[in-house]
């Protein structure tokens, strides 16, 4: 079984093309191809923190995590390998920034799964140079593009916002529920009561859950974390727009989280790019007890079909369902001192 995603496998069919180039990798990277790539120079911009952690171990300072690549990373590059994300708007946002920084004459190789809408690259880039499909394999397409006209980019033009009652939500392309609050988060908000002490919002997105909770309980101490650079910047802006305070950090679930909390809340993702993945959610549940005070609560919302009850029971001993619809369930588990059932008896789990 290949260690690379289908899009990378398509790139590998053309490796001879890149050996003398100064290459910048960007977009929705899904593996560590960039850290093993043979070229005159390789640099990588990661908009996802867990991808940065993997590649940074090998490439060091040639790898950068953030909303947009900084000029020092782009300077000197003559070739871009761009992985198309599942959001067309996110692709427009990232490519517009890159088109404004790369010099005229630069070449780009845009690759992505066909179901992600990578074909949109043809119309998106046509005003700035010539583009043509050069390969199709593994249900992916690879395009070659030559930059003839630089684009103009203004970050301020990409911000959006919406209201959740008296809370202003600030969002950027690529953030989950960019245009409106998703149904799962609405259900979770419906059962959130006032909290006390330290609260951690894992996978904070645009910071909606934290902002609403902080207005209910202004005395709480908030920490918000996400792997997405767009989410981190959106959460910071949401807190600022509502006059709220909180520590917003990049973290791959608990990788950069310190201390223990009285409440951990999350609407955990179950996709990594175009692929279904329960890794982050499982790490959240299994690692929560190490970051909760005794008596502290984990409250998450998830699609009802996902197998989280068994993981919650194995980790916490029991769980309860606070709310449910036909599609979603809100689970609560409490970190208590371990108790031991008499031999031959089992704990009763709340369902």
Non-local (6+) Cβ contacts of 162 within 8 A are 168, 169, 171, 179, 180, 181
Rounded Cα distance between 101 and 150, Å, is 8
- Looking at per-residue pLDDT, the higher value among 225 and 275 belongs to 225
The listed CATH number (3.40.50.970, 3.30.70.100, 3.40.50.300, 3.40.50.150) that belongs to domain 159-335: 3.40.50.150
Check residue 41 and give its pLDDT.
98
Check residue 194 and give its pLDDT.
75
Taking only the tens place, the pLDDT of each residue in 247-292 is 999 999 999 999 999 999 999 976 454 455 678 899 999 999 999 9
Taking only the tens place, the pLDDT of each residue in 162-215 is 999 899 999 999 998 888 889 999 999 999 887 899 999 999 999 999 999 999
pTM: 0.91
Rounded Cα distance between 142 and 3, Å, is 19
Delimit the domains of the chain by residue range: 6-155, 159-335
Check residue 277 and give its pLDDT.
60
- Please check whether the two domains, 6-155 and 159-335, share a CATH topology: yes
In order of 139, 200, 225, 263, 285, the CA distances from 270 in angstroms are 22, 19, 16, 21, 13
Taking only the tens place, the pLDDT of each residue in 213-222 is 999 899 999 9
Give the model's confidence band at 351: pLDDT under 50 very low, under 70 low, under 90 confident, else very high.
very low
Rounded Cα distance between 108 and 105, Å, is 10
Check residue 2 and give its pLDDT.
58
Non-local (6+) Cβ contacts of 302 within 8 A are 184, 267, 268, 270, 281, 308, 328, 329, 331
Taking only the tens place, the pLDDT of each residue in 116-152 is 999 999 999 999 999 999 999 999 999 999 999 999 9
Check residue 347 and give its pLDDT.
44
Check residue 271 and give its pLDDT.
44
228: exposed, middle or buried (Cβ count in 10 Å: 0-12, 13-18, 19+): buried
The listed CATH number (1.10.10.10, 3.30.450.40, 3.40.50.150, 3.40.50.720) that belongs to domain 6-155: 3.40.50.150
Tell me the mean pLDDT in the region 22-32.
96
What is the percent of the chain where pLDDT is above 70?
93
Taking only the tens place, the pLDDT of each residue in 54-106 is 999 999 999 999 999 999 999 999 999 999 998 999 999 999 999 999 999 99
Check residue 350 and give its pLDDT.
43
Tell me the mean pLDDT in the region 224-241.
98
């Amino acid at each position: 079984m290949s260690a690379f995603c289908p899009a990378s496998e398509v790139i590998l069919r053309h490796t001879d093309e890149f050996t003398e180039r100064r290459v910048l990798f960007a977009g929705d990277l899904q593996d560590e191809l960039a850290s093993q790539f043979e070229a005159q120079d390789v640099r990588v911009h990661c908009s996802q923190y867990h991808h940065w952690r993997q590649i940074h171990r090998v490439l060091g300072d040639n790898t950068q995590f953030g909303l947009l690549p900084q000029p020092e990373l782009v300077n000197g590059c003559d070739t871009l390998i761009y992985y198309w994300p599942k959001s067309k708007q996110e692709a427009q946002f990232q490519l517009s920034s890159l088109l404004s920084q790369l010099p005229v004459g630069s070449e780009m190789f845009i690759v992505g799964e066909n179901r992600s809408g990578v074909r949109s690259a043809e119309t998106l880039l046509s005003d700035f140079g010539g583009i043509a499909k050069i390969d199709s394999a593994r249900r992916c397409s690879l395009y070659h593009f030559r930059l003839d006209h630089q684009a103009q980019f203004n970050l301020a033009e990409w911000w959006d916002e919406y209201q959740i009652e008296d809370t202003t939500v600030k969002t950027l392309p690529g953030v989950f529920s960019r245009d409106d609050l998703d149904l799962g988060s609405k259900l979770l908000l419906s059962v959130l009561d006032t909290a006390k002490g330290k609260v951690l919002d894992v996978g904070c997105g645009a910071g909606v859950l934290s902002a609403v909770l902080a207005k209910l309980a202004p005395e709480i101490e908030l920490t918000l974390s996400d792997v997405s650079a767009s989410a981190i910047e959106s959460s910071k802006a949401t807190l600022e727009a509502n006059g709220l305070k909180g520590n917003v950090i990049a973290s791959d679930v608990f990788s950069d989280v310190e201390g223990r909390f009285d409440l951990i809340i999350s609407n955990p993702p179950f996709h990594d790019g175009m692929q279904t993945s329960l890794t982050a959610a499982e790490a959240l549940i299994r690692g929560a007890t190490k970051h909760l005070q005794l008596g502290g609560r984990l409250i998450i919302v998830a699609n009802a079909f996902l197998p989280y009850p068994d993981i919650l029971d194995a980790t916490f001993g029991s769980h309860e369902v606070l709310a449910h619809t036909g599609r979603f369930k809100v689970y609560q588990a409490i970190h208590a001192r371990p108790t031991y059932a008499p031999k031959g008896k089992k704990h009763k789990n709340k369902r």
